[in-house]
Structure 1
């Protein structure tokens, strides 16, 4: 029930961490307005999840509250690596507290989720990301670092979809003569393709997009996408098309045109961010 991707994108002389996801929840029926890419309250990291929401949303809410309640984490004095360890402890505590199990059952059902957390780690001055998942044998949450060998990582509960996404991404990079060090928006383009193809029923809705920057800030984007039912190209926020009376100050990403700023709550669709506000460079900012 999700395909999530994290990748390091080259933006001029800087690098930025990009998170993207589809917007579908599929537990019998289909809900295509589900937020899956989140900003953490400490402002330097993003978070996303794949899998059943039975565990994902309670665990995510506890993680957010734990960050908010700990000043050293909230103001980013706690490095990302230690935040990761704190999140693992919170997840494990919440899982271990489940009770009222069926007769003769020793453990709750195994969480089938994958959690992705990442940002710019000031302690090591590097972009860092980790996949958190549940070890069914050890009955505990564990993590593995990602974006070390490859600068792109797809995560999902459908292993076939994950493998296909990675294959298609590297085919596209190879066909364009690019290396890992030159990734632009190719992984997002593959996510977009897989949503539109409809091959995997659990992957759908509008794509979601967020970035984490070296200046220890994150931003979520509106994404221009055809609205379900009408096919009208509309800005979507966290999977939901904006209503006609709604406006957003979030910057916008149009897959056919690129990144754009906003002015007076309206997308400036004819002015790329790099040329916005006096032609200031967007390097290290939004694009």
Structure 2
């Protein structure tokens, strides 16, 4: 059981594909530290699942192994659609070997107890593409439907999940639409709205099957993917990565989101700077004034500009700290 989402984020005049899921595994028990979002040997695509863990994990592990040792499929010049066909054929061949040992058990329900979202960057169509993979009783195998085939749509998002006593996909979509309506952004480009919906459901204790820290990854137009950590359940919590909780000393070297704002914590900046003078900022004065017109941070700063601002502020703070140490030393003498 789970809830996962995928969407094309449109920000700072560029697009990126985002996948995210919760970390809860259930099935006679509840465990909030399960990996549900998978990095593949091909770095231009991602895979996540909803449904029975015991069905999904063997299929995914077989897929990772098959891609790792197939030079053709591992080659980034091979179309992502060929990877998709491989996934479908592999899952179908494996699922047909499942044998029920329980009398009168429906073999098709057994085979189809997990669904998948697969997607990535397609260099041939110069676009992000996402598919839903599912078991078909009629075909006795895994089929796929493309969710990004409608070129008339100006934005894309999807939710996929399962939970008892609630239609979790409908609930997520209803929350999403209500959020856009309340924020008067029905026609706006998507930023982190689907992730905010996933967060709200994950911290909702009434929904047992969705919980734990969020797992987040992106695919860029460069054909590269990046996995992120998150502080959970708030910025005051511990850093988590792929469902596992860490501390500040042993956390993996990835970038981390704040679940409160969904900004990268390493790139959080002050909203205001009282004075931007050449005495303080020297040769960076003009750049800082561009980033903080009239002392207020500019609405859309690129990650590169944010990193530069943070570096400048750190250097100034460190220089002042050294100056204070020197001053204290002179006083002590």
TM-score between the two structures when normalised by the length of structure 2: 0.75
Moved more, 110-119 or 142-151: 142-151
Indicate which of 136, 159, 181 corresponds to 1:154.
159
Q: CA deviation at 1:241?
A: 1.1
Over residues 185-216 of structure 1, what are the superposed CA-to-partner deviations in whole Å (9 max), with x where a residue is unaligned?
11110111111122321111111111111110
More helix by share: 2
Whole-angstrom distance in 2 between the partners of 1:239 and 1:103: 37
Question: Paired residue for 1:46?
Answer: 46
Change (3 A) 1:105 1:157: closer
Find the residue that maps to 1:203 and give its secondary structure: coil
Find the residue that maps to 2:203 and give its secondary structure: helix
Structure 2 unaligned spans of 5+? 271-301, 311-333
Whole-angstrom distance in 2 between the partners of 1:247 and 1:115: 28
More strand by share: 1
The structure with the largest alpha-carbon Rg is 2
Runs of 4+ in 1 over 6 A off after TM superposition: 103-106
Q: Is the 8 A contact 2:192 2:262 kept in 1?
A: no
Find the residue that maps to 1:198 and give its secondary structure: coil
Whole-angstrom distance in 1 between the partners of 2:72 and 2:101: 37
Structure 1 unaligned spans of 5+? 262-266, 281-287
Tell me how many residue pairs correspond in the alignment: 272
Over residues 39-77 of structure 1, what are the superposed CA-to-partner deviations in whole Å (9 max), with x where a residue is unaligned?
111100111011111110100011111111211221212
Question: Paired residue for 1:283?
Answer: none
Change (3 A) 1:48 1:105: closer
Change (3 A) 1:102 1:30: closer
TM-score between the two structures when normalised by the length of structure 1: 0.86
Which structure would you say has the larger RCO, counting Cα contacts within 8 Å and 6 or more residues apart?
A: 1
CA RMSD of aligned residues (A): 2.5
Q: Is the 8 A contact 2:98 2:111 kept in 1?
A: no
